[in-house]
Amino acid sequence: MEYNTLQKKLILPEYGRHVHLMVQHAIKVKDRDQRNIAAQTIIGVMANLMPHLRETPDFKHKLWDHLHLISEFKLDIDAPYPLPSPSEMVEKPKIVPYPQSHIRQKHYGKILTDMIREAGKLDDTPQRDTLIQLLATQIRKSYSAWNRSEINPEQIIQDIWDISDGRIVLNPEMVQFTETNNVRESQPSFQGNSGKNRKRKFVGSSKRKV
């Protein structure tokens, strides 16, 4: 038995090995008319393997281009479309640059820091003050999510000043800073409660009536 791992690597794996073998057989056909018939048959098989692409533009054109690519441009036939250039078919896609941006306070995230920078560029209006207050509240939430210690209002005010390049000088009275420990203590511990309930249920079920 010959395993696929020992065979030649497929050029377009989505069409399967049988289509590649059919193309290799068509290359060896000496009669040109018979080669054309074989190519039309292979195109029909390839179209059946890709029914979800039938509605795409130039579907047939793409199939013929793929046929030439599978044959490594060795299939001499009368195709309804011009023979594509090998350099165009095997050209590697260009590398898409990954966006690089420097975030001084990464725990706040890029979107929040960008919003603070844009808010610092706005004119001094009541709407700007409201926006800054909302951003400061979100900053406090992000700070408490990533810091186990108590919330430091001075540090948050300094961070907002740094992110906005000194355009936003936050007034501590604008936002009510709640200490992190108090927030965590107010949250119910579902895991602990469920464990206690299970323990009580187990102890209760073990008692016998006399």
Q: Where are the domains of the chain?
A: 9-89, 106-188
In the numeric block, which tokens belong to residue 17?
Answer: 């090995």
Cβ partners under 8 Å of residue 200, min gap 6:
none
Helices (H) and strands (E) in the chain, counts: 9, 0
Q: What is the pLDDT of residue 204?
A: 45
Q: What is the pLDDT of residue 199?
A: 45
Q: What is the pLDDT of residue 151?
A: 72
Flag residues of the chain having pLDDT under 50: 178-210
What type of residue sits at position 179?
A: E
Distance CA 117, CA 114 (A): 5
Of 40, 42, 5, nearest to 22 by C-alpha is 42
Q: What is the pLDDT of residue 176?
A: 53
Q: What is the pLDDT of residue 91?
A: 67
Q: What is the pLDDT of residue 76?
A: 92
